[in-house]
């Protein structure tokens, strides 16, 4: 088992030991893909880790954008988290019902907003339940707490920055989508998007970073995944995926192995695949 790090990833054993800490705040960031036929908020209301608040990724986003769940403004992030009773001085642990999927996106959002005391629960709700830890269906008691936000603009990239990085080759671009989508062999789930990948990017399917139980692989195995992908981690890294969610799993894995110079392309393929003036590559490279 990987060592617990309250700034990156913690185990279910760590969370169980700290569950009653007064400054612990737990977030359920479950998000299901369209067509899954599941209601994330409804499942949260039925059973969640004691004290958990529900973090709605689609709601706490930039409503001015036509792209899915883009990062919110600092003001919106602060106000929504304050209303949830999450703020300065809190240790936050975020989980999801998949194991490790959408929780990494919320970890990245907190980091983007300058918050360092946030960790993903390794293995998420499935591992918590499998080990017999408690859940509840009660709403948490919420008390306002101010949150100080200092947006870290270097942690997010837009289409213009990614296009320049692709052309110049001065960044390593890693794509978390399935290999079939990266190659252009599988259709995109969103209508109107071209098939393929950003030229010069490398395929690192997020599932390759995880064990069968939804926990993250250890450092040696993570490095092996990046090596097999031909990822040059000496360059600054930009992560991408379908809509900026699973890309954050790569960011999380990079920090797990001590690679700190990384950013996320927030528009990801939902933007790039629809943008008519940027090139698209197909195949393995």
d(CA 8, CA 112): 14
**In DSSP terms, which residues pair with 28 in a beta bridge?**
54, 95
Nearest 5°: phi and psi at 177?
A: -70, 165
Q: Residue 174 in 3-state DSSP?
A: strand
* Whether residue 77 lies in the annotated active site: no
* Residue 40 and residue 31 in contact, taking contact as beta carbons nearer than 8 Å: yes
Choosing from 10, 113, 176, 241, the catalytic residue is 241
Q: In what order do the strands lie in the sheet with 202-203?
A: 156-157, 262-265, 237-240, 172-175, 202-203
Question: Cα separations (Å) of 134 from 47, 48, 119, 127?
Answer: 9, 9, 20, 12
H/E stretch holding 208: none
The residues carrying an active-site annotation are: 241
């Amino acid at each position: 088992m990987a060592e617990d790090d309250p700034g990156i990833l913690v185990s279910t054993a760590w969370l169980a030991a700290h569950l009653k800490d007064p400054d612990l705040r737990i977030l359920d960031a479950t998000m299901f893909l369209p067509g899954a036929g599941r209601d994330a908020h409804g499942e949260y209301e039925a059973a969640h880790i004691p004290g958990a608040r529900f973090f709605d990724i689609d709601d706490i986003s930039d409503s001015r954008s036509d792209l899915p769940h883009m990062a919110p403004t600092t003001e919106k992030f602060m106000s929504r988290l304050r209303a949830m009773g999450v703020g300065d001085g809190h240790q936050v642990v975020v989980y999801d019902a998949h194991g490790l999927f959408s929780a990494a996106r919320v970890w990245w959002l907190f980091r983007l907003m300058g918050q360092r005391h946030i960790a993903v629960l390794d293995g998420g709700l499935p591992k918590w339940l499998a080990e017999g830890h408690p859940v509840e269906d009660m709403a948490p008691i919420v008390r306002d707490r101010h949150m100080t936000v200092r947006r870290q603009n270097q942690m997010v990239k837009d289409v213009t920055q990614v296009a320049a990085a692709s052309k110049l080759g001065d960044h390593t671009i890693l794509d978390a989508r399935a290999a079939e989508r990266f190659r252009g062999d599988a259709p995109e789930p969103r209508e109107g998007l071209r098939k393929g990948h950003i030229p010069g990017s490398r395929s690192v399917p997020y599932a390759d970073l995880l064990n069968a139980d939804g926990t993250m692989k250890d450092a040696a195995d993570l490095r092996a995944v990046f090596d097999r992908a031909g990822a040059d981690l000496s360059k600054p890294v930009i992560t991408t995926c379908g809509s900026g969610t699973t890309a954050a799993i790569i960011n999380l894995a990079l920090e797990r192995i001590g690679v700190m110079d990384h950013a996320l392309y927030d528009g990801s393929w939902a933007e790039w695949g629809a943008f008519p003036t940027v090139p698209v590559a197909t195949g393995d490279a």
